[in-house]
Amino acid sequence: MSAPQVIIVGAGPAGVRAAEVLVDAGLRPVLIDEAERCGGQIYRQPPEARRRPYEKLYGSEAAAARALHQSFDRIRPGLDYRPKTLAWDIAGGWVSIHDRTEAAVGRLPYSHLILATGATDRPLPVKGWTLPGVFTLGAAQISLKAQDCLVGKRVCFVGTGPLLYLAAVQYARAGAKVVAVVDSGSFAAQVKYSPGLRHAMGTALRGIGFVAELHARRIPVLKGALPVEISGTEGVERVTVRQGAKQKTFACDAVALGYGLRSETQLADLAGIPRSFNAAQQNWAPQSGLDGRTPVAGVYVAGDGAGIQGAHAAELRGTRAALALLEDLGKPVDAGRAKVLEGEICRWARFRAAMDGMFPIPVEALKSLADDVVICRCERITMADIRRVATLAKPEDVNRLKAFGRTGMGRCQGRYCGDTAQAILSSLTGIPQEQAGIHRAQAPIKPVPIGDFIRVASQTEAIAEEAAQ
Ligand SMILES: Cc1cc2nc3c(=O)[nH]c(=O)nc-3n(C[C@H](O)[C@H](O)[C@H](O)COP(=O)(O)OP(=O)(O)OC[C@H]3O[C@@H](n4cnc5c(N)ncnc54)[C@H](O)[C@@H]3O)c2cc1C
């Protein structure tokens, strides 16, 4: 039997833990990641020139970050590690890649594939969200983590979810003036779902600590509040928000906007894995079991790319998926360990369900957006365009909406507007969200320079010609 060819996409907590299990079992997986260094989103490492102490970079997560990076360093010799490499297509047992170091495209065969592609944050559209100075929450955090750089001096944090509070605290500690934290989640919902926090008390207490720190710093925290408009002449100057019947305006030079996370599922879709809609998370995730197995034999999913559960669960899910892969290869696996992992994954799922209840995504607010609000930024499709297409063409799902109205047809392939378009279409037409669907993935899932295709093609041609002579 030929040696298995295992590819892991994603070197975040899930991908690194999966790789660790496989290397320890004597395999040599290929580990692909777009980023320059391992760690994924949460344990992202700055470039060498901008190294800082772990405690400064990762705060309460310093120990977990160090542990993950050290595990990676230990297994590094056993890996075929491909940093700065995008996986942009999956078809017929091959992963197509773009290697940014070599500026080259190519493809790698696999017999087994683990997709640990993580998540992106979700900025819901609001009037003025395309002004310079509006960032997603994640982008604001990445700029701090990776470049030690603030997105503004007076920043307003708008959205919902634990990352909203964490990022606001990180900015306050880094010296920014946090003018307000505007959370759409209501105090009542947070009290109602708080019993579920017992499933991960340490993490819950850290979150409560962030809120307490914001109060201690006298930063206004508004709950049950939604942004009405972000405005300014050449960039952000103020944010107006509504809380019940009251309206407030905060002067600021930047806005960090984010309503929870959504799974990166384009590769899973290309690999043929059906996706299901989780209404509480407003998220489409590839279908999979607790063990990471999917309906497609030999393809596994792990971490936030398989449904949002957070970084600790991502490590467990990466480990479990790799054990499933070993089982499928007929290698000995400690069944007790697999069971314990599944129990822990369930515990984190219960914790996540509480968080989903505490911080619901306010998609119902989308239907009253003004006509001139841009929904699809790549193609500059506005709310009025979507209203017009929904009325005239009566699309039955987002893929038809895309065909008739171009929403999601641009560079991001609907990665950013897809779920918003789905929620808007559903609210305008009454089609259930699940039926309104999600954009089918198209390769390349992210832009790849055409020059790199041409250069590789001409090199291949030259080699073929030489061989023929
Ligand atoms: C912007 C952002 C900031 C966050 N900050 C925090 C935080 O401060 N604290 C916290 O507790 N949680 C945070 N989270 C959530 C946390 O990052 C996740 O729960 C956790 O990282 C999930 O781990 P993962 O391994 O599943 O995915 P990730 O850590 O997201 O890792 C996925 C990796 O896959 C790579 N990848 C994806 N697609 C491709 C592709 N096509 N080709 C090549 N590589 C690819 C990415 O570059 C990435 O390194 C954040 C999430 C986001 C999106």
Note the pLDDT tens digit of each residue in 381-437.
999 999 999 999 999 999 999 999 999 999 888 988 999 999 999 999 999 999 999
In this predicted structure, what is the pLDDT of residue 192?
A: 96
460 falls in which pLDDT band (50, 70, 90)? confident
1 falls in which pLDDT band (50, 70, 90)? low
CATH number of the structural domain 363-436: 1.10.10.1100
| Choice from 42, 58, 163 to test ligand 1 binding pocket (greatest atom count within 8 A of CB) | 42
Residue 188 C-beta-side C-alpha neighbours within 13 Å: 2
What number does the ligand 1 atom closest to the CA of 35 have?
47
> Which residue's C-alpha comes closest to atom 48 of ligand 1?
40
- Check pLDDT > 80 for residue 464: no
> Which residue's C-alpha comes closest to atom 14 of ligand 1?
42
Query: What are the residue ranges spanned by the domains of the chain?
Result: 6-120+262-355, 123-259, 363-436
Separation in Å, CA 369 to CA 128, 174, 410, 420, 428: 11, 34, 22, 12, 11
Dist. CA 211 → ligand 1 center (Å): 23
Regarding the beta carbon of 308 and ligand 1, being less than 6 Å apart is answered no
Separation in Å, CA 363 to CA 147, 158, 265: 32, 15, 20
**Which CATH architecture group holds 123-259?**
3-Layer(bba) Sandwich (3.50)
To the nearest whole percent, how much of the chain has pLDDT over 90? 88
List pLDDT tens digits, range 325-346: 999 999 999 999 999 999 999 9
Is there a shared CATH topology between the 6-120+262-355 domain and the 363-436 domain?
Answer: no
List of residues 6+ apart from 130 with CB closer than 8 A: 374, 377
Dist. CA 84 → ligand 1 center (Å): 15
List pLDDT tens digits, range 177-198: 999 999 999 999 999 999 999 9
Dist. CA 267 → ligand 1 center (Å): 15
pTM of structure = 0.95
Regarding the beta carbon of 338 and ligand 1, being less than 6 Å apart is answered no
Regarding the beta carbon of 315 and ligand 1, being less than 6 Å apart is answered no
List pLDDT tens digits, range 30-76: 999 999 999 999 999 888 777 888 888 888 899 999 999 999 999 99
To the nearest whole percent, how much of the chain has pLDDT over 70? 100
Regarding the beta carbon of 203 and ligand 1, being less than 6 Å apart is answered no
> Which residue's C-alpha comes closest to atom 19 of ligand 1?
310
List pLDDT tens digits, range 268-298: 999 999 999 999 999 999 999 999 999 999 9
In this predicted structure, what is the pLDDT of residue 229?
A: 97
> What mean pLDDT value characterizes the chain?
95
List pLDDT tens digits, range 79-90: 999 999 999 999
Regarding the beta carbon of 32 and ligand 1, being less than 6 Å apart is answered yes
Across 254-263, average pLDDT: 97
Across 103-118, average pLDDT: 96
Regarding the beta carbon of 303 and ligand 1, being less than 6 Å apart is answered yes
Burial (CB count within 10 angstroms: exposed 0-12, middle 13-18, buried 19+), residue 429: middle
Dist. CA 262 → ligand 1 center (Å): 11
> Which residue's C-alpha comes closest to atom 30 of ligand 1?
118
In this predicted structure, what is the pLDDT of residue 467?
A: 79
Regarding the beta carbon of 311 and ligand 1, being less than 6 Å apart is answered yes
Crossing angle of helices 398-405 and 383-392, in 10° steps, is: 100
In this predicted structure, what is the pLDDT of residue 462?
A: 78
264 falls in which pLDDT band (50, 70, 90)? very high
Across 135-151, average pLDDT: 91
Dist. CA 400 → ligand 1 center (Å): 30
Q: C-alpha angle with apex 9: 449 to 33, nearest 5 degrees?
A: 55
List pLDDT tens digits, range 334-383: 999 999 999 999 999 999 999 999 999 999 999 999 999 999 999 999 99
Dist. CA 324 → ligand 1 center (Å): 22
Across 125-145, average pLDDT: 95
> Which residue's C-alpha comes closest to atom 33 of ligand 1?
10
Regarding the beta carbon of 256 and ligand 1, being less than 6 Å apart is answered no
List pLDDT tens digits, range 312-327: 999 999 999 999 999 9
Across 136-141, average pLDDT: 95
What number does the ligand 1 atom closest to the CA of 170 have?
8
Q: Domain spanning 6-120+262-355: which superfamily?
A: FAD/NAD(P)-binding domain (3.50.50.60)
Regarding the beta carbon of 119 and ligand 1, being less than 6 Å apart is answered yes
- Check pLDDT > 80 for residue 5: yes
- Check pLDDT > 90 for residue 458: no
